Amino acid sequence: MTKIIELLSAVEHPAMEGDIVSLGIAADLKIADAQGGELDPEAEGVDEKIASIKFKLVFPSPDPFSADLKKECEEILEREFPEASVTIIEMVAPRRETKRTVDELNDQELKKIGKIIAVASGKGGVGKSTVTVNLAAALCRKGYKVGIVDADIYGPSIPKMTGTEGISPLVEQATNLIVPIEKWGMKILSIGHLVEPEQALIWRGPMACNALKQLIMQVKWGELDYLLIDLPPGTGDIHISLVHDIPLAGAVIVTTPGQVAIADVIKNVNMFKHRDINIPIYGLIENMAWFTPAELPHNRYYIFGKDGGRKMAQETGIPFLGSIPIYMSVSEGGDTGMPAAMGDNPVAAAFASISTSLEK
Ligand code: ADP
């Protein structure tokens, strides 16, 4: 059996979780001998006879890492098979028919939305959903019509945060569009409103992408000034496909100030800036920047380090939009309270100020 498969199995996709063989990206391997005769990859001792190697790298959608991966494969194979010619065809998987239909159907709805903005983070737990809900609330407070989509299939926390858990959205019969849930004057739809969390977690690549696109496109949003999308954390295939297919006006990136977060921020920035995607980045929001205890209202404790977010923004060349302090009741939400940004507190001021960057 040829060792090509084993060699390619060691090539990891930098953003998706897995190697190019198990992700199904490397495909259609064809090997031939010096006379051009096709060889059987399974045959014993076949590697001695290989004179040409051809295969495809098929990406689910335009991929910022495709050229790097192709180069890496070429280098590995040319090193192992110095006598052989190596041809790698890089391509994007053809689109499915269903997608076009969905697009056509919902173009009308999407045209009614002023700006669709993605809220992204490199990893979970940095407060991406909290920031999404509160930015939306800050914009709503300024009089804009705002919608929120919770596309975080790994942990849809917006139903809980907005006290809309357990509510199932209706589907308008005539149009087959999902009717979003309304709360505090905002329109809200989460993947958690449609499926059980465990179900969403096991979705892989294309299935998750299609479901998430429907969650955004197959919805009766009506007239909106802003639609904020709480993306799943990370920069995997789901993200690349989503940000490629949704007409985004721009993205904001959320991080905590910690040093380790910079690598994640860089990945996010690179994803949005990649030439095939090319989505403007409004900038970086630093969440959980400091803590002020109630009994010492003038003190700021920089638990994760001071000015980390500002430095990260500088290093990655994107604007710094502002910091949000740690505030215990930030996500009380639910039936007990409104999003902090709708109240009168230090976080509301921070969100009001940051939301002005989205108005430009
Ligand atoms: P993510 O969407 O990035 O996974 P969440 O928004 O769900 O993160 O936040 C993770 C946890 O951190 C939640 O319990 C949330 O209440 C808390 N949290 C987020 N931002 C703040 C903040 N500024 N102050 C206090 N707690 C916060």
Residue 246 has pLDDT above 90, yes or no: no
Which residues lie below 8 Å from residue 323, measured CB to CB, with a gap of 6+? Answer: 285, 286, 287, 289, 290, 309, 350
Task: Tell me the DSSP string of 101-146.
Answer: HHHHHHHHHHHTEEEEEEEEESSTTSSHHHHHHHHHHHHHHTT--E
For residue 10, how far is its CA from the centre of ligand 1 (angstroms)? Answer: 36
Q: Average of pLDDT values for 311-321?
A: 93
Q: With cut-offs at 50, 70 and 90, classify the pLDDT of residue 230.
A: very high
pLDDT given at position 99: 43
* 148-167 tens-digit pLDDT: 999 988 788 899 899 998 89
| Residue with CA nearest ligand 1 atom 19 | 127
Tell me the pLDDT tens digit for each residue of 187-208: 999 988 988 767 766 666 777 7
Return the DSSP state at 303.
T
Q: Pick 101 or 281 by higher pLDDT.
A: 281
Kindly state the average pLDDT of the residues 221-250: 89
4-92 against 103-359: fold identical: no
Rounded CA gap, 146 and 6, in Å? 50
> Quick one: tokens of 216?
């955004």
Residue 78 tokens read as 């040319």
Supply the pLDDT for residue 203.
67
pLDDT, average across residues 327-352:
80
Mean pLDDT of 289-307: 88
Rounded Cα distance, 33 and 39, in Å: 7
- Write the residue with the smallest CA distance to atom 23 of ligand 1: 326
Instruction: Read off the pLDDT band of 295 (50, 70, 90).
Output: confident
Spacing, Cα 52 to ligand 1 middle (Å)? 53
pLDDT of residue 202: 67
User: Strand runs (DSSP E) across the chain, as ranges?
Assistant: 26-32, 38-39, 52-59, 85-92, 113-121, 146-150, 170-172, 177-179, 181-183, 186-190, 224-230, 250-255, 281-291, 320-326
Q: Region 268-291: what's the mean pLDDT?
A: 90
Query: In the predicted model, is pLDDT for residue 268 greater than 80?
Result: yes
Question: What are the extents of the domains in the chain?
Answer: 4-92, 103-359
pLDDT in tens, 113-127: 999 999 999 888 899
Instruction: Supply the pTM of this predicted model.
Output: 0.72
pLDDT at 214 over 90: no
User: Hey, what long-range contacts does 208-214 have (CB within 8 A, 24 or more apart)?
Assistant: 208/153, 208/238, 209/60, 209/61, 209/237, 209/238, 209/241, 209/242, 209/245, 210/98, 210/99, 211/153, 212/151, 212/153, 212/238, 212/242, 213/99, 213/102, 213/242, 213/245, 213/246, 214/102, 214/178
Measure Cα distances from 276 to 88, 170, 225, 254, 264 in Å. Answer: 20, 36, 26, 23, 20
The proportion of the chain whose per-residue pLDDT surpasses 70, expressed as a percent, equals 92
Q: Identify the pLDDT of residue 169.
A: 92
User: What confidence score (pLDDT) does residue 105 get?
Assistant: 53
User: 3-class DSSP state for residue 14?
Assistant: coil
Q: What is the band of 333 on the pLDDT scale with cuts at 50, 70, 90?
A: low
Residue 277 — very low, low, confident or very high, per pLDDT cuts 50/70/90?
Answer: confident
The whole-number average pLDDT for the span 282-290 is 95
Pairing of strands 113-121, 250-255: parallel
pLDDT, position 98? 42
**Above 70 in pLDDT, residue 332?**
no
**Best mutation site among 121, 130, 190 for ligand 1 pocket (most ligand atoms within 8 Å of CB):** 130
Residue that has been written with the tokens 């690179």 in this structure: 270
Ligand 1 proximity of 150 Cβ (cutoff 6 Å): no
Tokens, residue 226: 């802003």
What confidence score (pLDDT) does residue 354 get?
Answer: 97
Higher pLDDT, 142 or 273: 142
Residue 243 confidence (pLDDT) above 90: no
pLDDT for residue 100 is more than 50:
no
The domain 4-92 is placed in CATH, from the list 3.40.50.300, 3.90.78.10, 3.30.300.130, 3.30.300.30, at 3.30.300.130
Most confident of 238-247, 253-262, 351-360: 351-360
Atom of ligand 1 nearest to the CA of 324: 23
Residue nearest to atom 5 of ligand 1 (CA): 127
Note the pLDDT of residue 104. 56
Angle at 316 between CA 315 and CA 321, to 5 degrees: 95
Structure confidence at residue 61 as a pLDDT band (50, 70, 90): confident
More confident residue, 15 or 46: 46
Kindly give the number of the ligand 1 atom that is closest to the alpha carbon of 121. Answer: 3
pLDDT higher than 80, residue 96: no
Q: Which residue bears the tokens 């100030």? A: 257
- Assign a CATH topology to domain 103-359: Rossmann fold (3.40.50)
Average per-residue pLDDT for the chain: 87
